[in-house]
Amino acid sequence: MKNIQDSYVLSNGIKIPCVGFGTFKQPNNSDTVDIIKTAIDCGYRHIDTAFGYGNEEAVGKAIRECGLQREELFITSKLSNDNHGYDNTIKEFEMTMNNLGTPYLDLYLIHWPKPLKCRDHWQEANEGTWKAFEEFYKAGKIKAIGVSNFLEEHLDTLLETATVAPMVNQIELHPQYVQRDIVQYCRDHRIVVEAWSPLIKGNAMNHPILVKIAKKHNKTPAQILLGWSLQHNFLPLPKASSKERILENADIFDFKLSEDEIEELKALEVGGRTGSHPDTATF
């Protein structure tokens, strides 16, 4: 990868830009519109949102006003935890499309595998949801379909009834939480791994090993973390609110971590996850 517009190729041949711009916790207002337009101006072509973020309308406004043709952008959204199951999925997908004001989605994901609302029948709920996903996909309303926060058990169950396999799995992933088993599972099944919270929510920026490696490469700790993702063939989804940070997060293609540096960064693993576990999330 040479820049943020270079792409991975999904199992169905669709290209997905190798770095996405995350919008988690961005409000549904003009500030978010401006931030996303700034990111696009800075070269980002991959924007990640979700129904549960409550900002799809702002994302849609930004992509309409950015000056690029729709097909030049890659837009992802996700099904919320409240609307798993076939009928609910169809209804929420229509709301997402109306919010975004776009004729199609590039990627649609099931946000979490076992929401509290359907935890006692999550297998059946996901089966119905995936049936709707496959219908959207086959109708050309979605270019690619996938999941988020799914572990091996969740994917095994989904694949028992799926006729189209997930193309993406978006999971928490960074040097502090490496999730080796599910990463290997995804590679074995040709599922591209996206990394949410690739900057560890800023929690490790002062870690001495990360600071040392950043100084060696004349980079920031954030850039080192994003470079780590790319060197592992993950697709990071950093978020930022200033043009300076947006540009910084894109300037990650002119260095390479050595094997020794990657080994050193394993010291961060003691920190573990920053978010919820898919099986015990309280939402």
Q: Which two tokens stand for residue 250?
A: 């894109």
Name the active-site residue from 44, 53, 108, 137.
53
pLDDT, position 74: 98
pLDDT at 234: 98
**118-138 pLDDT, tens digit each:** 999 999 999 999 999 999 999
Task: For the chain, list the domains and their CATH numbers.
Answer: 7-271 (3.20.20.100)
- Contacting residues for 11 by C-beta, under 8 A, at least 6 apart: 165, 167, 190, 191
Whose CA is closest to 280, among 78, 116, 53?
116
Beta strands at 15-17 and 168-172: parallel, antiparallel or unpaired = unpaired
Handedness of CA 244, 249, 255, 258 (dihedral sign): positive
- pLDDT tens string 148-194: 999 999 999 999 999 999 999 999 999 999 999 999 999 999 999 99
pLDDT category of residue 272 using cuts at 50, 70 and 90: very high
Tell me if the pTM is above 0.95. yes
pLDDT, position 18:
98
Residue 53 known to be catalytic: yes
Q: Are 221 and 205 in contact (CB under 8 A)?
A: yes
Distances (CA, A) of 275 to 38, 130, 173, 181, 261: 28, 25, 10, 18, 26
Tell me the pLDDT tens digit for each residue of 61-75.
999 999 999 999 999
Question: Which residue bears the tokens 């999550």?
Answer: 122
Angle at which helix 122-138 crosses helix 86-100, to 10 degrees, equals 50
The pLDDT score that the predictor gives to residue 130 is 98
Residue type, 176: Q
Return the pLDDT at 236. Answer: 98
Instruction: With cut-offs at 50, 70 and 90, classify the pLDDT of residue 115.
Output: very high
| Mean pLDDT (whole number) for 244-273 | 97
Average pLDDT over residues 19-45: 98
Can you give the pLDDT at residue 137? 98
Average pLDDT, the chain: 98
pLDDT band at 78 (very low <50, low <70, confident <90, very high): very high
